[in-house]
Amino acid sequence: MKIKSVASEYIGHDVTIIKSTNHNNAGLKGRVIDETKNMMIIENEGRRLSIPKNGSTFMFNLDGSEEIIDGGVITYTTPDRIKNAQKIIRAFKRRERE
């Protein structure tokens, strides 16, 4: 995971839910239309879906590059996530080692 992808604004970008504790969400594709600390709001076939960040793995298309991000790592509001990008990257690396 790159600092740029953690510090990105996800609203307006295409997303695919790779994995989810709710198996109905896995494989859904759409566009992020809003984001809260704990939820990604995506538009999928004209429907607004609230996808919990925690327990989900997202694949974002960020400026032509696909980035896979564990939603549990980005459970922050956008301003807080951008401000704490370095801290989030360290937490992500610790999770990878476990």
Q: Where are the domains of the chain?
A: 3-97
C-alpha distance from residue 70 to each of 42, 45, 46, 47 (Å): 16, 24, 25, 23
Q: What is the pLDDT of residues 15-50, one digit of tens each?
A: 999 999 999 999 999 999 999 999 999 999 999 999
pLDDT at 4 exceeding the cut of 70:
no
3-97 topology per CATH? SH3 type barrels. (2.30.30)
pTM beyond 0.75: yes
pLDDT at 57 exceeding the cut of 90:
yes
